[in-house]
Structure 1
Amino acid sequence: MLNNPVWAALSGPQAGYAEAAGDAARYQPDIAPFCAVADPADPAAWRDLATLTDYALLTGPSLAPPPGWVPDVRTMGVQMVGTAMTAVDDPEAVPLTEHDVPEMLELVARAQPGPFRKRTIDLGRYLGIRSRDGRLISMAGERFRMPGWTEVSAVCTDPEFRGQGLGARLTLAVAAGILARGELPFLHTVHDNENAIRLYERLGFEHSADVVFASFRYTG
């Protein structure tokens, strides 16, 4: 499942958020930009995907679509798992709801943690920390969910408040909720973000696999 987390999510616990056709699926566009195929080596699955979209963002250990799909953007990443970690709740972390989405989108625009859309919050529990004047300055939450696993995602802090350990605290708080459900946390980061990788290692995450995030355009 970890080799193909988006497919495992969209064909499993998050099927209710999917648009699907045969062996391909994608999140509803206002939730997340990710797509998936059951077997990235199967040209028929990519043909199914072409009935859903002509622009696809996927992730996995390797992605080599058949002719007709043209590479657009490719980013190398790292997948990390918390199979042996412990985590704790944070007394200052507050649950975020749909009423907080405008602030969350503003924070994402400033901090650039990766894809986050107006209904991404539907995918799981999101927590935030606010400044003394009430501004949302840090957040983290859950994205891909599959049997036994949930991804920690959208970990970000306003640039003005970085260096205070807020992201680490929220990562642990989100992971604590995942562990309390009897699941295991995992996450992704870009491969050259050495500071983030070292931080996650200190929190108890371990390297699982090298992955790629890649987008493709379908030209037929």
Structure 2
Amino acid sequence: MDQQAHSLDNPIWTALTTHHAHLSAGGPLARRYCPDVAPFAAMASDASPDAWLALAQLLSAGDQVALLSCSPLKPPARLRAQPVGRIHQMVATKRDTRLAVHADIVTLGAADAAEMLELASMTKPGPFCKRTHEMGRYIGIRSEGRLIAMAGERMHPGGHVEISAVCVDPAWRGKGLAGRLVQGLEAQIWKRGESPFLHVLSSNAGAIALYERLGFRLRQQFHMTRVEPAD
């Protein structure tokens, strides 16, 4: 397997120690995103006692982070683990750098952060925080000035870019907006010489079917686990 493929085996860690180091806290054994950026954390090793200790030191009382792992996690007594579900990691297979011209697709930024958070809170595409938009490029579609759909770039591990926060206002679903946004991001990522990928809950059959129609295929399955300090 090449180096780029290896970067997807521990994507959170790879992103936190490279492109997103400035959005993170921690050291050589464990790192996490700043809480207002994303609720993700990772360990460098395969859950060694020292790595667990380093992770615990990054968590305050009432704090929670989510980790991806190939097998179920068993933290030490000072931490409590709650399984969230299985995650499909899917990679794009149809390389296409052609940029579709859609006049209604706009670039989103800091000025749109409140609207982005509102749309994500309503549609629940996955974790989305006040500063999540700082992780990469986000695009959206508006109707009469109101944000009705968006998608963006989240983790950035070694030659790959994660497409995330794909969501559409319920009143506007069924019109192909999500597919157009995903394909627009894909084209930009391919054009930069990188490869698109994404994560989706294995139970979300509708989203998986959409991504398969867009040319994504399953690469690996992970366990997602929420970890917090024990009482």
How many Å separate the matches in 2 of 1:153 and 1:90?
21
Q: CA deviation at 1:198?
A: 1.2
* RMSD after superposition: 1.5
**1:36-51 equivalence runs, <5 A:** 36-51=42-57
How many Å separate the matches in 1 of 2:54 and 2:114?
34
Q: 2:202 aligns with which of 187, 191, 194?
A: 191
Which residue identity lines up with residue 27 of structure 1 in the other structure?
Y
How many Å separate the matches in 2 of 1:84 and 1:165?
18
State the secondary structure of the residue aligned to 1:62: coil
- Residue aligning to 2:4: none
Which is further off, 54-63 or 121-130?
Answer: 54-63
How many correspondences in the alignment? Answer: 219
Detail structure 1 runs of 4+ shifted over 6 Å in the superposition. Answer: none
Which residue identity lines up with residue 111 of structure 1 in the other structure?
T
Q: 2:90 aligns with which of 80, 83, 89?
A: 80
> Is it true that 1:22 corresponds to 2:48 in the alignment?
no
TM-score by length of 1: 0.94
**1:127-138 equivalence runs, <5 A:** 127-131=139-143, 133-138=144-149
Report percent identity of matched pairs: 44
CA contact (8 A) 1:123 1:144 kept: yes
- Residue aligning to 1:165: 176
CA contact (8 A) 2:149 2:169 kept: yes
> Is it true that 1:99 corresponds to 2:111 in the alignment?
yes
Q: 1:217 aligns with which of 220, 225, 228?
A: 228
1:134-161 CA deviation, whole Å, 9 max, x = no partner?
1100000000002110100000000111
How many Å separate the matches in 2 of 1:121 and 1:90?
23
State the secondary structure of the residue aligned to 2:139: strand
Q: CA deviation at 1:76?
A: 1.2
Q: For structure 2, list consecutive stretches of 5 or more residues without a partner in the other structure.
A: 1-6
State the secondary structure of the residue aligned to 1:146: coil
- Residue aligning to 1:111: 123
How many Å separate the matches in 2 of 1:206 and 1:73?
24
How many Å separate the matches in 2 of 1:63 and 1:126?
32
> Is it true that 1:62 corresponds to 2:71 in the alignment?
yes
- Residue aligning to 1:176: 187
Q: For structure 1, list consecutive stretches of 5 or more residues without a partner in the other structure.
A: none
- Residue aligning to 2:3: none
Which is further off, 187-196 or 54-63?
Answer: 54-63
